[in-house]
Amino acid sequence: MVKVRFVGACALGAIVLGSFGLGDRSAAQDVDPAELVKDIHAIFGEHHARAVHAKGVVLEANFEPTDEARQLSKAAAFAGKLQATVRLSNTTGIPDIPDSDPNASPHGLAIKFVMGDGSVMDVVTHSFNGFPAATAADFGQFLKAAAASGSGAAKPTPIEKYLQSHPEAVPFLTKQSPPPESFATTTYFGVNAFGFVDASGKKTTVRYRFVPEAGQKYLDAAATASKGPNYLIDEIAERVAKAPVVFSWFAQIAQPDDKSDDPSTPWPEDRQLVKLGTLTITGMAADQEGLSKDLLFLPNNVPDGIEVVDPMIDVRGAAYPISFSERQ
């Protein structure tokens, strides 16, 4: 039997409002985003904050696209250099979760790009290549099982039963990376697939990946134990004050048999990665409290030239505003 930690199930962190799964687009009508948000609150409590990724930090950034990005997509996001706002975060809906807590993973990287005409594009990613459910119905079951699996739950707990019948969830709950040295030393993945449409109308199915220039660096148990509760937020502030923090944004290109509508299934690592550009984080945002409250990242907020492929993106787009309204 798989053993998992409760309350995070290690990673309820990009789960709601991070990545919903849906079997097909018509099934979206059978999924109540408000119910999913309610189930998350049953796990983490109601804190009048984000339902997940409640603890985070906001930074200023810019983005320089590549010629390869312009060849893949006609989107205005790749037409030239853009300004951006970045939010780095811990998972869970607990605003004061210690950064060193294993349940703070996967960490989040959300980006709001501002294009030349003032319109915006949002990207939402997390630091794990995968998701614990293939459909919205399964995801709802997963949340309810996690909420019912507290310390007093009889064995096997509901979440253990869920994992027995949904083995695709096991990697997400058992294979998270150790706490990173920094928000700047872990790779972030876009769980969902998008379609990039070029000037001729050709569509390429992709998933996003943000790779840190600083490399992937994680803490061992002794180093983790020595860290304070806000070490990631403190460290990124110190790091970016000394030099910009840089990520390369890649598109992982799907092959015909790769599932574009199942977020629980990562694509093979031998799939081509095309660099879309360079995200450079230049400094801390001035109004941390105001921006953390007011920023809303909508994963289906994309320009012409980028299309929703994975139907779960639309469910996410419906759920995020619910959480947003609750923290106002």
- Measured between alpha carbons, how far is 172 from 59 in angstroms, rounded to an integer? 28
- Measured between alpha carbons, how far is 173 from 3 in angstroms, rounded to an integer? 9
pLDDT grade, residue 137 (50/70/90)? confident
- pTM for the model stands at 0.88
Q: Which helix (H) or strand (E) holds 130?
A: none
- pLDDT tens per residue across span 65-104: 999 999 999 999 999 999 999 999 999 888 999 999 999 9
Q: What is the mean pLDDT of the chain?
A: 87
Helices 33-44, 136-147: crossing angle, 10 deg rounding? 20
DSSP state for residue 254 in the 8-state scheme: P
3-class secondary-structure state, position 203: strand
- Measured between alpha carbons, how far is 207 from 253 in angstroms, rounded to an integer? 7
- pLDDT tens per residue across span 266-311: 999 999 999 999 999 999 999 998 998 899 999 999 999 999 998 8
Q: What ranges in 185-311 are assigned the alpha helix state H?
A: 221-225, 231-242, 288-294
How much is the pLDDT for 239?
98
How much is the pLDDT for 129?
96
Contacts of 269 (CB under 8 A, 6+ apart): none
In a domain, 6, yes or no: no
In a domain, 85, yes or no: yes
In a domain, 3, yes or no: no
pLDDT grade, residue 9 (50/70/90)? very low
Pick from 209, 221, 210, 215: nearest CA to 182: 215
- Placement of tokens 């304070």 in the chain: 228
Task: Record the tokens describing residue 80, joined without a space.
Answer: 């030239």
Region of 176 please: left (phi>0), alpha (psi -120 to 50) or beta.
beta
Q: What is the DSSP string of 270-299?
A: TS-EEEEEEEEEEEE-S-HHHHHHH----T
Check: CB of residue 157 under 8 Å from CB of residue 149.
Answer: yes
Task: Record the tokens describing residue 291, joined without a space.
Answer: 């921006």
- Residue span of the structural domain in which 97 resides: 12-326
In a domain, 199, yes or no: yes
Beta bridge partners of 206: 194, 253
In a domain, 5, yes or no: no
Poorest-confidence range of 26-30, 62-66, 194-198?
Answer: 26-30
Contacts of 294 (CB under 8 A, 6+ apart): none
Contacts 24+ apart (CB under 8 A), 154-162: 156/1, 157/6, 159/4, 159/6, 159/9, 160/1, 160/2, 160/3, 160/4
CATH classification of the domain holding 242: 2.40.180.10
**pLDDT more than 70, % of the chain:** 90
Pick from 289, 9, 234: nearest CA to 100: 234
Number of domains in the chain: 1
- Measured between alpha carbons, how far is 316 from 318 in angstroms, rounded to an integer? 5
- Measured between alpha carbons, how far is 283 from 281 in angstroms, rounded to an integer? 6
- Measured between alpha carbons, how far is 23 from 18 in angstroms, rounded to an integer? 17
Beta bridge partners of 315: none
3-class secondary-structure state, position 226: coil
pLDDT grade, residue 30 (50/70/90)? low
Average pLDDT on 206-229 reads 97
pLDDT grade, residue 157 (50/70/90)? very high
- Measured between alpha carbons, how far is 160 from 53 in angstroms, rounded to an integer? 24
